[in-house]
Amino acid sequence: MKLAVVIALLANATLAEARLHQDGYDTPTETHVELVVGLWHDDKLTPDHGWNHYTFVAPTSGYVAVQMRAPRDHATLWSYLRVIDGDHNWAAVANRVTNLSEVVVAVERGHHYDIIATSQRNATLEPGERQITDGPYTIGVVPIALP
Amino acid sequence: MIRIVVGFALLVAATGASAADTIDQPSVGRALRGSAHVSGKLTRERGFVSHRYRAVTDGFVKITLATGAKRPYLRVLTVPSTTRRGEGWSTNEPSLVVRVARGSELELVATLAVNITKGTAVGEATYELATVEMTP
């Protein structure tokens, strides 16, 4: 019974998202952009496209910092990053002072990682609620030399 | 898949002792300073335990949460200061690396992935939480 209720709620949420023509946690927008170490990529979030999906293939093994920066004091965009490796997840919400979010992960050479940029506001919406985040940001991957 | 959410609203509650033990209102455990470790038990009554960590060096800290037989869930929140406010991290992996400056403080909340999935403490396991400071 409980499972049925959960499924029904999820179905309603999915339908609501479709009606609103917006992407979401489980249905991010595919940017077709592969992030490259040391190169920054400028992008934006809109109410329709509030979850942007990138890929990253590690050129070497070691630590990297995935960073997302948005304008300070932006009204609706509070940077929020997810790094996904299969069913392993790391998430970070930004420093309110700098609006910079950072996920530091140990990566393996040649391995594929999924990276999703969104805003804290989008990450905490109720099912069916409209996304309002609208603003620019920059995303990149920086190598970090750690023991 | 576990939905990983770190919320600003959650930052306020992490430090206070509370009768309700939840991810947003965890129990308070022993503090950590620099590279250190603490161990304990997660129970149905005390399923979310927060440990305050204070950095003693500039660089990064690797936070590792090991649990007996159960998949861990780790949430890290900054203790607000003039330079850092509102930051948070979470993972269903055993470790997380965070940039720190000497004197900065973090709240480390240890729990189990199953407790996040269920929204309440349902699992029981021993845990060990360790901080290792690293300088590039």
DSSP A33-72: EEE-BT--EEEEE-SS---EEEEEE-SSSEEEEEEEE--T
* Amino acid (1-letter code) at residue B69: A
CA dist., res. B124 & res. A129, Å (int): 35
pTM of the model: 0.87
Q: Which fold has domain A2-144?
A: Jelly Rolls (2.60.120)
Residue from the list B7, B92, B134 with its beta carbon closest to the beta carbon of A120: B7
Q: Mutation target for A interface from B91, B107, B116: give the one with most A CBs within 10 A.
A: B91
ipTM of the complex, rounded to two decimals: 0.87
pLDDT tens series, chain A, 147 aa: 454 544 444 555 555 555 568 999 999 999 999 999 999 999 999 999 999 999 999 999 999 999 999 999 999 999 999 999 998 999 999 999 999 999 999 999 999 999 999 999 999 998 889 999 999 999 999 999 998
CA A58 → CA A54, A87, A109, A139, B23, distances in Å? 13, 18, 5, 16, 33
For chain B, give every domain's residue range.
8-134
The top-level CATH class assigned to B8-134 is: mainly beta
CB atoms within 10 A of CB B125: 19
For chain A, give every domain's residue range.
2-144
Q: B81 CA to chain A: closest CA distance, Å?
A: 10
